[in-house]
């Protein structure tokens, strides 16, 4: 099988490239990534000399490039997105462009190439925000996005579904909860806390810190996508979650404990605008139909993640200094 992975230099996409190349010795990958601030080729340096892996620096809104690449593969696995909620609050233009127009460009290319198989990686944020006692999100929860990020992802999901219904494009969608693990960009909560603490800095907690997220170790998300692309039913959506709802404050305290630091380093800061209170996922469909459930407990996953950041200080220090953006020039423009 030959896969076009979009956004493969980002957090989840690069974990997925690792997963596929290690799990399937005969699979080939083309990784199309624009290398925005979130793209980091250091995540994939293990494959610099791997003949089954090709990196293409490019934009998913570039119609000609996308058509050329989609024609070469059996399946598109679409991760590329602007993914950070806070950035979408400050400036949402790139979110609409990449998440909506970029997804549309890929869908059109898949249609023109003879209806190529298409898997769209989406988020639980499209379903909105839950109250403390409300049932978790599932595949039948109505869409109710509340940030520019989640609205743009919801728009992309609707386009993907429309291409299934209108053009019979063989699509699947996964809506996943919060991921964490290796290569997580340190603007997001868990890697921000870990790296700040290693550097002896305070950790910013928005509002009262009691917002709840459902955390999933990234390797488990990759395994879910792997199952969906091989065994998922065409036209279907699968909700993927971690069975691990935690308030942000509890996450902060758990990491403080793992690193032997004092809770005085918690700094309450101004809340995020329109901050969604709680996300939770009912993943019984993918469990009963495809046999997937999370393998890594939150305690184990958090320990592994903290250990990874301790062992890979050079990786996140390069991100913080901006040095990581030189990797493409060093490796590909020699
Ligand atoms: P990320 O921000 O770490 O990576 C995004 C990647 O997309 C980067 O490599 C970036 O360079 C690339 N990219 C951005 N714009 C592009 C463009 N126009 N053309 C080509 N490449 C472009 O994101 P992530 O956290 O790895 O998320 C991947 C996908 O999974 C996203 O679609 C996101 O909505 C979804 N998702 C993320 C989470 C999570 O917790 N991180 C949870 C559920 C779903
Ligand atoms: O639910 C899936 C989503 O999870 C993905 O679709 C997004 O791409 C991904 O970024 C993530 O969104 P969140 O907004 O939930 O993740 P973030 O790490 O930004 O924030 C997690 C929680 O922590 C949220 O309640 C806001 C809070 N927070 C975040 C930061 C960065 C803080 O309290 N302080 C912070 O400094």
What are 252-287's pLDDT values in tens digits?
999 999 999 999 999 999 999 999 999 999 999 999
245 or 331: which leads in pLDDT: 245
149 in catalytic set:
yes
Closest residue CA from atom 19 of ligand 1: 59
* Whether residue 213 has pLDDT greater than 90: yes
- How far is residue 225 from each of residues 11, 76, 116, measured CA to CA in Å? 15, 12, 17
Separation CA 279–CA 327 (nearest Å):
36
Backbone angles phi, psi at 45, to 5 degrees: -65, -20
Q: Is 85 in the pocket of ligand 1 (CB under 6 A)?
A: no
124 in catalytic set:
yes
- Cα(148) to ligand 1 centroid in Å equals 15
Going by C-alpha positions, the residue among 146, 102, 132, 264 that lies closest to residue 197 is 264
Three-state secondary-structure class, residue 43:
helix
Backbone angles phi, psi at 9, to 5 degrees: -95, 0
Q: What is the pLDDT of residue 294?
A: 98
Domain ranges across the chain: 2-184+217-243+278-298+324-332
H-helix or E-strand spanning residue 85? helix 85-90
- Average predicted confidence (pLDDT) for the chain: 98
Q: Is 189 in the pocket of ligand 1 (CB under 6 A)?
A: no
* Whether residue 334 has pLDDT greater than 70: no
Q: Is 34 in the pocket of ligand 1 (CB under 6 A)?
A: yes
Mean pLDDT to the nearest integer, 187-192: 98
**Buried b / exposed e along 93-112 (16+ C-beta atoms within 10 A):** eebbebbbbbbbbbbbbbbe
Backbone angles phi, psi at 39, to 5 degrees: -90, 130
Note the pLDDT tens digit of each residue in 298-309: 999 999 999 999
Query: What CATH class does 2-184+217-243+278-298+324-332 carry?
Result: alpha beta
Note the pLDDT tens digit of each residue in 158-188: 999 999 999 999 999 999 999 999 999 999 9
């Amino acid at each position: 099988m030959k896969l076009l992975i979009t956004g493969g230099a980002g957090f989840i996409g690069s974990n997925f490239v690792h997963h596929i190349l290690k799990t399937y010795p005969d699979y080939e990958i083309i990784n199309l990534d624009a290398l925005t601030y979130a793209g980091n080729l250091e995540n994939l340096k293990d494959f610099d000399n791997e003949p089954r892996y090709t990196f293409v620096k490019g934009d998913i809104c570039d119609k000609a490039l996308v058509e050329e690449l989609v024609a070469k593969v059996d399946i598109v696995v679409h991760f590329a997105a602007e993914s950070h909620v806070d950035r979408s609050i400050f400036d949402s233009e790139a979110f609409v462009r990449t998440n909506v127009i970029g997804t549309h460009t890929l869908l059109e290319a898949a249609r023109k190439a003879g209806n190529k198989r298409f898997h769209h990686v989406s988020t639980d944020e499209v379903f909105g925000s839950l109250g403390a006692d409300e049932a978790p999100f599932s595949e039948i929860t109505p869409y109710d996005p509340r940030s520019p990020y989640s609205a743009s992802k919801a728009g992309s999901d609707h386009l993907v579904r429309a291409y299934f219904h209108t053009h019979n494009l063989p699509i699947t969608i996964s809506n996943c909860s919060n991921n964490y693990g290796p290569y997580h960009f340190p603007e997001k909560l868990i890697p921000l806390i870990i790296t700040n603490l290693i550097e002896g800095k305070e950790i910013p907690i928005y509002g009262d810190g009691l917002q709840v997220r459902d955390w999933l170790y990234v390797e488990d998300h990759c395994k879910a996508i792997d199952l969906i692309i091989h065994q998922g039913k065409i036209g279907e959506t699968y909700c993927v979650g971690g069975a691990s709802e935690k308030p942000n404050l509890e996450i902060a305290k758990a990491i403080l404990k793992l690193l032997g630091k004092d809770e005085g380093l918690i700094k309450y800061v101004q809340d995020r605008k329109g901050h969604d209170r709680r996300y939770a996922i009912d993943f019984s469909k993918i469990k009963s139909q495809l046999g997937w459930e999370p393998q890594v407990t939150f305690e184990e996953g958090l320990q592994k993640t903290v250990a990874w950041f301790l062992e890979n200080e050079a990786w996140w220090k390069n991100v913080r200094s901006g040095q990581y953006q030189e990797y493409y020039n060093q490796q590909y423009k020699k």
